[in-house]
Amino acid sequence: MNIPKTEHKRVVIIGGGFGGLNLAKSLKGKDFQVVMLDKNNYHTFQPLLYQVATAGLEPDSIAYPIRKIFKAQENFFFRMANVEKVETSENKIITDIGILEYDYLAIATGTTTNFFGMEGVAKHAMTMKSVTEALDLRSLILQNFEKALLENEEEQVSFMNFPIVGGGPTGVELAGALAELKNHILPNDYPDLDINRMKIHLIEMQDEVLQPMSDKASSKALAYLKDLGVNVMLNKSVASFDGNNLTFKSGEQLKSKTLIWAAGVKGNLVDGISSTAIEGSRYKVDDKLKIDGYDNIYAIGDVGILKTKKFPYGLPQVAPVANQQGDFLGKNFISESKGASLKSFTYQDQGSMATIGRNRAVVDMKAFKFQGTIAWFVWMFVHLISLVGFRNRVITFFNWSYNYFSFDKGARLIIRKFKRN
Amino acid sequence: MNIPKTEHKRVVIIGGGFGGLNLAKSLKGKDFQVVMLDKNNYHTFQPLLYQVATAGLEPDSIAYPIRKIFKAQENFFFRMANVEKVETSENKIITDIGILEYDYLAIATGTTTNFFGMEGVAKHAMTMKSVTEALDLRSLILQNFEKALLENEEEQVSFMNFPIVGGGPTGVELAGALAELKNHILPNDYPDLDINRMKIHLIEMQDEVLQPMSDKASSKALAYLKDLGVNVMLNKSVASFDGNNLTFKSGEQLKSKTLIWAAGVKGNLVDGISSTAIEGSRYKVDDKLKIDGYDNIYAIGDVGILKTKKFPYGLPQVAPVANQQGDFLGKNFISESKGASLKSFTYQDQGSMATIGRNRAVVDMKAFKFQGTIAWFVWMFVHLISLVGFRNRVITFFNWSYNYFSFDKGARLIIRKFKRN
């Protein structure tokens, strides 16, 4: 890989998500060599992928070139690569662009979609875990309307049904954004189509949406979704999907050409780590974030599972955990190199939030919980300042302001036609 | 296609470029039904495609949803379709989504890349005639540097050579933008790569660049390109390209993995129009823009060839001709429907311009010609106001301002990896 050997220890980070970025940043100017591998040359701000999928933002608002983030960090090296295997006994990583040795390895590969073994769903459903998937979903949504125009009423309905499985933040936010497309934009774009035939269904197997949030937030989010015209189905599970029909476990069916799957994730595991270190598709880590049974291999963010008193089933798979763990691990590497004692990771829970649509958001903080317009502005503010870089913040802010005043979303472009399986 | 028959005559427009848009707009509120067909659901502002290719702009800045443009025009219908054939004897168009009858047909399909029969070039070269092609080129440019990092010096050079064939506005503007990437951005992004090995070659078979412009503009553009470090090769033609080696007609060779082809265009012809109506791959039209030998079929913009006294080889293939012809044809349709006499098309030549880089542009107007910083600001102003819609203007303006002050381009994203043939 043409990366020079130096006298400093080499930290290899697999993944340029929140955890990986923060770890690399925390080692700036320190006596380590940092090598980051990612299959993309950019960091993705995943919480806003649904806005790319619904034509509100272009990729450059939420994706940021990794090399640009680290252009002033001399000890940082980046390689765009797919990791094939870790040879833990030799401290080596095998990739599609060659072999790389490490002193410390941090696995920060995040999660991938979990279809829970349902083959039809895996084959035909749309997902939203990457920029490419979000762009595909955007194209497919718009293509569905272009196609519906050419069909009789029964077929139209099938193209205009949008069942979304999973009542977590992704499903709720996507359902809200689709409802706003339906309410404000599509009737103007398709005057010769009856947009009332478009139906957004949010399917959740539990008895509330946003289950990990407070009851108040869950019930308010449900009310907001209903306000916007989303058909929320609670206590409902999917049995199968064949690309034309969605079948529920209860036996009911829904004719739909589209299924959006936001119902679960699993750790994005790397070959070569012992299966004894894995629990529920995540790496078991101790409070130093070290993976069970290894001396110099760590997991940070969603791919690791750290159980605490407050979170006996593991810390939540959210951005703040990844951010804090990346930062924490870097500091511990520095302490270790100085012979200082190592700290244990403790999660600072800053609360959580979700937006359902214009003036409709829910925020749970430790001290207080609130909903509605103020929550919506808080949500926008927090997401804006969390974006990487001045440019992305300004462009996103402009797009949101434009959307707010014009009720319009600018990026209704079918750039690459999506072909169904 | 589910388009209602009305008592009004139906004008079918193939193509949503400058000509098609202006024709459709000019029939707003008039007693015609307007149906536009395009393979994309958006209009492309082609003059700025090179900025998408060089990571300066995202597609939503230069592409505009066609339905959004016409959302307040009741007599307008849009269908996303590929036209397969025109049955002129039956006034019918065959498309991949069905058959459509027309009373008037306006072909506004523009041009496609002309490889002049060179198979290797057609197979391996990159082009820049659409948003998708521009995004592919962007990915490939960035991928080349990621790959160069892994290679020895000889191979690095091969990945870092960027020969551009064609010294017209597209080639000149792209060469300038690539040079700015090289001078300001890539050295920071790739500190472990010797960016001096990157070479931008502009290959032109004539003895000057921007040949249709004034001699002053051509010589100044050449000087600007040299200032920026572009290797301009005049009086030079390409014989072949096999994906690894570019061979010139003189016999010389250049080792290069990339070839960017901006050397020529040909009309994007529609099957079913008599070959006697075609000259040099364009439709021969009279001064009413009617295609030779047809009563109700017209060509507007680049796909037509209208010879005038001043332009004995046909009007130039530029946006203003298409804009004016679209508008003209609509007015003639209206006159005809009222039994008024028809006008003949006359081209109002407003001059031409090209930008080579920051503070470096050339402008030829009838009254006066100028170059440099003022020309550059004029170029930016004219292109900004020519973009469709407030939102696209603001986002482009912000991106340009950001680029001006930070010497940075934000969209260095390899969204879809490009696979070479």
Confidence of residue B34 (pLDDT cuts 50, 70, 90): very high
Choosing among A35, A395, A403, which should be mutated to test the B contact, i.e. which has the most B CBs within 10 A? Answer: A395
Q: Is residue B402 very low, low, confident or very high in pLDDT (cuts 50, 70, 90)?
A: confident
CATH class of the domain defined by B119-263? alpha beta
CA nearest neighbour of B413 among A38, A127, A319: A38
Q: What is the CATH code for A9-39+81-113+265-337?
A: 3.50.50.60
Q: In terms of CA atoms, which chain B residue is nearest residue A66?
A: B189
DSSP code at position A183: I
Q: What residues of A are in contact with residue B401 (Cβ under 8 Å)?
A: none
Q: Which residue has the higher pLDDT, B411 or B157?
A: B157
pLDDT tens, residue by residue, B180-190: 999 999 999 99
Neighboring chain B residues of A41 at a CB cutoff of 8 Å: 142, 146, 412-414
- Chain B's closest residue to A415, CA to CA, is B132
- Concatenate the DSSP letters of all residues of B49-85 into one string: HHHHHTTS--HHHHEEEHHHHTTT-TTEEEEE--EEE
pLDDT at B210 over 80: yes
pLDDT exceeds cutoff 90 at B389: no
Q: Are A261 and A249 in contact (CB under 8 A)?
A: no
Rounded to a whole number, what is the distance in Å from the CA of B373 to chain A's nearest CA?
A: 25
pLDDT at A369: 95
Query: What pLDDT does residue A20 have?
Result: 98
Q: How far apart are CA A194 and CA B205, in angstroms?
A: 56
Which residues neighbour A233 within 8 Å (Cβ) at sequence distance 6 or greater?
A: A201, A202, A203, A204
Domains B9-113+265-337 and B119-263 share a fold: yes
pLDDT digits (tens, 9 = 90+) for A384-410: 988 888 888 988 888 888 888 888 887
C-beta atoms of B398 and A402 within 8 A: no
- Determine the Cα–Cα distance for residues A111 and A304; give it in Å rounded to an integer: 10
Residues of B in contact with A188 (CB under 8 A): 67-68, 71
What is the pLDDT confidence band of residue A38, given thresholds at 50, 70 and 90? very high
Contacts of B393 in chain A (CB under 8 A): none
Residues of A whose CB is below 8 A from B135: 415
CATH topology of domain A119-260+358-406: FAD/NAD(P)-binding domain (3.50.50)
Give tens-digit pLDDT for B37-55. Answer: 999 999 999 999 999 999 9
CA-CA distance, A33 to A28, in Å (whole number)? 9
> For an interface test with B, which of A58, A96, A152 has the most B Cβ atoms less than 10 Å from its Cβ?
A58
Q: Which residues of A touch B69 (CB under 8 A)?
A: none
Helices (H) and strands (E) in chain A, counts: 13, 25
DSSP secondary structure letters along A126-171? B--SSHHHHHHHHHHHHHHHHHHTTS-HHHHHHHHEEEEE--SHHH
pLDDT given at position A417: 87
The whole-number pLDDT of residue B86 equals 98
Among A146, A394, A412, beta carbon nearest to B398:
A394
Residue-wise pLDDT tens digits, B333-385: 999 999 999 999 999 998 999 999 999 999 999 889 999 999 999 999 999 98
Q: Which two tokens stand for residue A43?
A: 């960091």
Cβ pair A398:B394 closer than 8 A: yes
Measured between alpha carbons, how far is residue B168 from residues A18, B78, B369 in Å? 44, 33, 18
Predicted confidence (pLDDT) at residue A33 exceeds the cutoff of 90: yes
For residue B128, give the 3-state DSSP assignment: coil
pLDDT at B305: 98
When pLDDT is cut at 50, 70 and 90, the band that residue A184 belongs to is: very high
Alpha-carbon gap: A231 to the closest alpha carbon of chain B (Å):
28
Dihedral sign (CA B280, B283, B287, B289): negative
Distance of CA A275 to the CA centre of its chain: 25
Task: State the average pLDDT over residues B228-254.
Answer: 97
Residue A315 CA to residue A322 CA, distance in Å, equals 10
Contacts of A389 in chain B (CB under 8 A): 410
Question: Under an 8 A CB cutoff, do A394 and B402 touch?
Answer: yes
The owner of tokens 């198979």 is: B119
How is domain B9-113+265-337 classified at the CATH fold level?
FAD/NAD(P)-binding domain (3.50.50)
Of B45, B68, B387, nearest to A411 (Cα)? Answer: B68
Residue ranges of domains in chain A: 9-39+81-113+265-337, 119-260+358-406
Query: How confident is the model over A171-196, as a mean pLDDT?
Result: 95
A366 three-state secondary structure: coil
Query: Do residues B36 and B126 touch, judged by C-beta distance below 8 A?
Result: no
Which of B2, B75, B397, B400 best tests the A interface by mutation, with the highest count of A CBs <10 A?
B2
Pairs of residues, one from chain A and one from chain B, whose beta carbons lie less than 8 Å apart: 136
